[in-house]
Amino acid sequence: MKRIENIAETYQHLQTEICSSLENADGKGKFSHDNWEKEIGGGVTAVLQNGVIIEKGAVNFSFVKGKFSSRMEKLLCEKAENYAATGVSSILHPENPWMPIIHMNVRYFALDNGISWFGGGIDLTPHIIEPENTAEFHTALKTTCDQFDSRFYPEFKEWADDYYFLPHRNETRGVGGIFFDRLKYDSQEEFEKLFNFTVALSQLYPVIYTSFMKKHSNRPYSEREKNWQALRRGRYVEFNLMHDRGTKFGLESGGNTESILASLPAGAAWEYNYSPQPGGFEEKTLSLLKKGIDWINPKNNP
């Protein structure tokens, strides 16, 4: 149990660092901090609303433990009596439609049967896809992954393409990133490698987004871009409520509902039988919402 307590302490410190970086980059918005406690444990929900650049953002930390229910057994395909879990997760919804939505999560899960693992990732959901920005994002992820294992980026990139997918729409949620789950270890060396990897991703997260904030937050936009942003946010809501594992597990385990649903945007829209303007940025974005795109080396794409 000492191990997960140390991990939780590190993750909570990372939450503080991320909030500070984002506040400095926004220049106006400040994170409110809601310390919550329930029977299963507690955490800190940090939410920024109505900033100059970030319309709504959340950086959440939690450390919970309790009985491993039959529903949890079905969700995780494991047998145990008790569990403990800790993690930090964040999502940012910008005011400017030319800025992307970004999501990050790292977590550690332990069962009393001796099985434990790491999970997490970072993914990007631009309202308007611009390949050069996406290439920059994926290059940053690959560089960090390669510092730990050259297999990580290609494997976790494919995993993200498959995970962040809306089957009922036959489209990806955005341009992917990396996603991993159930990364188990059988030595102290492997444990430290995976733990340090999750820390490195958490530290990379604000670096990536503050770079986007500096470059794109002042770009002019019209009502057309805002309307499109609302529709893309609607897709984001669909994924989070219908397919996201963290949302499902958090609600099933009796977690803090406000924290779990802090990932949703302040506003979203759905339009019946929407059809994009031919040749517009809307049509181009929809054409790129598919799996298997090599964003770093576009010459490799068919």
pLDDT of the residue at 202: 98
Query: Residue 73: pLDDT above 70?
Result: no
Euclidean distance between CA atoms 270 and 207, whole angstroms: 32
Pairing of strands 165-166, 116-125: unpaired
Q: What is the CA angle 206-108-158, rounded to 5?
A: 65
CB 62 within 8 A of CB 92: no
CB 152 within 8 A of CB 198: no
Q: Give, rounded to a whole angstrom, the gap between the first and last alpha carbons of the chain.
A: 49
Active-site residue 13, yes or no?
A: no
User: Span 61-74, mean pLDDT?
Assistant: 81
User: Given pLDDT bands bounded at 50, 70 and 90, which one contains residue 297?
Assistant: very high
pLDDT of the residue at 252: 75
pLDDT of the residue at 113: 84
Minimum mean pLDDT range among 171-175, 257-261, 281-285 = 257-261
Euclidean distance between CA atoms 120 and 124, whole angstroms: 14
User: Span 50-68, mean pLDDT?
Assistant: 93
User: Given pLDDT bands bounded at 50, 70 and 90, which one contains residue 71?
Assistant: confident
Query: Residue 75: pLDDT above 70?
Result: no
Query: Residue 269: pLDDT above 80?
Result: yes
pLDDT of the residue at 82: 84
Q: What is the CATH number of the domain that holds 148?
A: 3.40.1500.10
pLDDT of the residue at 109: 92
User: Span 134-158, mean pLDDT?
Assistant: 98
User: Given pLDDT bands bounded at 50, 70 and 90, which one contains residue 80?
Assistant: confident
pLDDT of the residue at 255: 74
Q: How many domains does the chain have?
A: 1
Domain assignment of residue 221, given as a range: 2-300
Query: Residue 76: pLDDT above 90?
Result: no
Catalytic one of 93, 103, 127, 138: 103
pLDDT of the residue at 191: 96
Report pLDDT digits (tens) over 202-243: 999 999 999 999 999 999 999 999 999 999 999 999 999 999
